Amino acid sequence: GGMADHTQVPVHDLGVDGRLTEPRFGQSFSTELFADSVIDFLKSQNGTKPFFAYVAFTAPHDPRQPPEPFREQYYRSLPPLPANFLQQHPFDNGMMIGGRDENLGAWPRTEAMVRDQLAEYYGMITHMDEQIGRILQTLRETGQAGNTLVVFTADNGLALGSHGLLGKQSVYEHSMRTPLIIAGPGIPRGKSSQAFTYLFDLFPTLCDVLGIKPPGALAGKSLKPIWEGRQDRVRESVFLPFLDIQRAVRDERWKLIAYPEIGHLQLFDLESDPHELTNLIDDAAQAEHVNRLRKLMTGWQKQMGDTVKLPARNRQPPKIDLTRLKRLPDPWQPEWIVKKYFDVTP
């Protein structure tokens, strides 16, 4: 899966006895292996019965090691820094020291390091996009495109320099927002929506599209009414919990983040501050929004059975300095990444 050398993915064959054969390594880049597999599957379909294919690319998870041409594509003109780039997150959000993702680059973050990692990240995404194109082309060539529903999504976002972070372990927008594209019969072309969505909405959505009665007691909601124009949203707010260390709730404009372990709170006006750089929690003029969002978060906690105790008031968190933190690589990081980004001596 992710967190493995993308050039050393184990490949098993299914033997005639129904057992997996011994793995073979190094046949191709992971993204190409997965695409090749689903293309073979699509070509094997004879059109007599429906099919379902789930393609779980491990890219662009780190190690961020795109094939050389895709890496060089973005090295030639390095991507710009994110608008909310910081050299270091201003406080420990619970994952600064123990979380592996935050150790993938030195503290403080430098512009050069972040732009290089963005280039490698974008290279992996571009390579994956090319492989998805091969899959879609196979659907067209086999005559199945007109009768196939295609869903593209991801399980999380990523910081990569935003707020001084590198990983996904935060409830800022850059980590919580993911792409969701649905295309196929009955789906209007070129229509977009900013409606709040969870990934578990996909199951009832697909059931709705396919005319299948879903089982009862589902937390997810069908998104079909949105693209049909019958609704502009399926929920008014979202609750964003992460372990016991972060909680957030947001509506169309406002977002409240709580860090229960350190008693810190953040309030952001996403309309005027989409990059979440100005914490308004101590602004007396915003007390009404703070109180409303507190009640909203408590309601979500009750609904979800979440017993984490929220801070009663905001406490200023202690400042941290991670510049001397020793960082050692995971065993699956390729040699060139180890030399470039890690402290290689114990």
Q: How confident is the model at residue 11 (pLDDT cuts 50, 70, 90)?
A: confident
Q: Which tens digits make up the pLDDT trace of 176-208?
A: 999 999 999 999 999 999 999 999 999 999 999
Query: What's the rounded mean pLDDT across residues 16-32?
Result: 86
**Residue of higher predicted confidence among 31 and 46:** 31
Q: Which tens digits make up the pLDDT trace of 296-339?
A: 999 999 999 999 999 999 999 988 888 888 787 888 888 899 89
Q: Distances in Å between the alpha carbon of 254 and those of 31, 195, 266, 272, 286?
A: 38, 15, 11, 10, 10
- Least confident among 82-86, 104-108, 135-139, 270-274: 104-108
Specify whether the backbone of 163 is left (phi greater than 0), alpha (psi in -120 to 50) or beta.
left
Query: What's the rounded mean pLDDT across residues 4-16?
Result: 82
Q: Which tens digits make up the pLDDT trace of 87-146?
A: 999 999 998 887 789 989 999 999 999 999 999 999 999 999 999 999 999 999 999 999
Question: What confidence score (pLDDT) does residue 346 get?
Answer: 46
Q: Which tens digits make up the pLDDT trace of 149-183?
A: 999 999 999 999 999 999 999 999 999 999 999 99
Whether 235 has a pLDDT exceeding 80, the answer reads: yes
CATH classification for the domain delimited by 238-327, as one of 3.30.70.1170, 3.40.30.10, 3.30.1120.10, 3.10.180.10: 3.30.1120.10
Domain with CATH 3.30.1120.10 in the chain: 238-327
Domain with CATH 3.40.720.10 in the chain: 1-195
Q: How confident is the model at residue 61 (pLDDT cuts 50, 70, 90)?
A: very high
**Residue of higher predicted confidence among 119 and 3:** 119
CATH architecture of residue range(s) 1-195: 3-Layer(aba) Sandwich (3.40)
The answer to whether 209 and 186 are in contact (CB under 8 A) is: yes
Q: How confident is the model at residue 345 (pLDDT cuts 50, 70, 90)?
A: low
